[in-house]
Structures are given as structure tokens and as C-alpha cells.
Amino acid sequence: MEKSDRAAAVKKFSSPAYLKYGNEKQRCVWRYLSESDILSELAPYHPIIAGTIPIEIDTPDSDLDILCGFDCGDEFRDFLETRFSACEGFELKKVVKQGLTSVVAKFRAGPLSIEIFGQPIPPVEQVAFVHMINEYLILQERSEDFRREVIKLKEKGVKTEPAFARLLGLEGDPYQLLADLK
């Protein structure tokens, strides 16, 4: 993978504008983001859309992933609780991911299931974003058949990273393997 391709992908996915001209689900996300104040409200936490929707390997069950970075986890958690606790299906938890204290909020907003994930590092450095960029670059190098095979595996319940690893014939921890691709 070329370094310039990676830089272009990071730039593309650092702003949600690409969603406006995407597939049906991406346009739905764009409408939600445009009609709600969610990104402006999350602005102090530098939100970035990540996951399967941006790279067009989502299934009907896929949620909208929003990555955030914070300085104070308790402040971020309090903000999420105050702002989104009235939303349908609201759940909030503190977990440790990649050795970092992380805050995760899940809820429904209109037609979308949303997960907001925050860590004390910038979103572009979070493993979920790195995975998405690497998966995007792989998809750019592969055929449309490869993309469809990823989606088929996901529809059978295989998580995204294991689906990529299986189709690429990679052995070992699929999450680490995809994070390490350069």
C-alpha cells in the first residue's frame, strides 16, 4: 500500500462530506448528520465517522460508528449521558480497549443505530480508524467480488476484521494483522 494512498484515504475519511454522494445508506447518514446537531455538539471531541458504512461493506444491522477523542473520560461520559440518555435504547459504558480507558454510548436515532466511541487519543490514531483505512485500501486493490464476499461473511455473523483475514488468507489475530498493515 502506497503511503500517498493512505494519506489520501485519511484525508477523505476525516470529514463526512463524502457521505453526501455515496450509496443509499451513506446518504441516509448524511441527512441525519445534516439535520441533527450531533457532529457540532461532538466537535470538542473531534468526531470522525468510521466502521463499515463509510467503506460500503455495511449490512442492514450495521451501526453508525462515531469516533471521538477526549482529555477527560469522565467529562466525555457525562456529556454523552446528558445529551443522549433520552434516545431509544441508550446504553453507556466504560471499557478498556487497546490498554486505554474508553467510553462507549449506543442508541437509536431515527433509522440509525449509533455507537459513539471515545478514547484519550485523536480519532485518527484509534485502532477502529486504522482498521477502516486499511480495509478501504484493500478494497481499492481488490475486485467488487472481494467486497461482496466480505459482506456475505458479515451477513453470516463474521466480524469485519476476521472476514478480511479469512479472505486474504492471513493467519493469526485478525485485529492485530489489520492494524499492522502499512
Could you give the CA distance from residue 45 to residue 21 in angstroms, rounded to a whole number? 25
More confident residue, 7 or 182: 7
Of residues 150, 109, 156, the one with CA closest to residue 132: 150
* Residue 17 in this model has a pLDDT that exceeds 70: yes
pTM: 0.94
What is the sign, positive or negative, of the torsion defined by CA atoms of 167, 168, 170, 173?
negative
Provide the pLDDT for residue 139: 96
For 87, the 3-state DSSP assignment is coil
pLDDT, tens digit, for every residue of 81-114? 999 999 999 999 999 988 899 999 999 988 899 9
Q: Which helix (H) or strand (E) holds 117?
A: strand 112-119
Could you give the CA distance from residue 78 to residue 86 in angstroms, rounded to a whole number? 13
Q: Which residues pair with 117 in a beta bridge?
A: 67, 104
Sorted by where each starts, the structural domains of the chain and their CATH numbers stand as 3-180 (3.30.460.10)
* Residue 1 in this model has a pLDDT that exceeds 60: no
* Residue 182 in this model has a pLDDT that exceeds 70: no
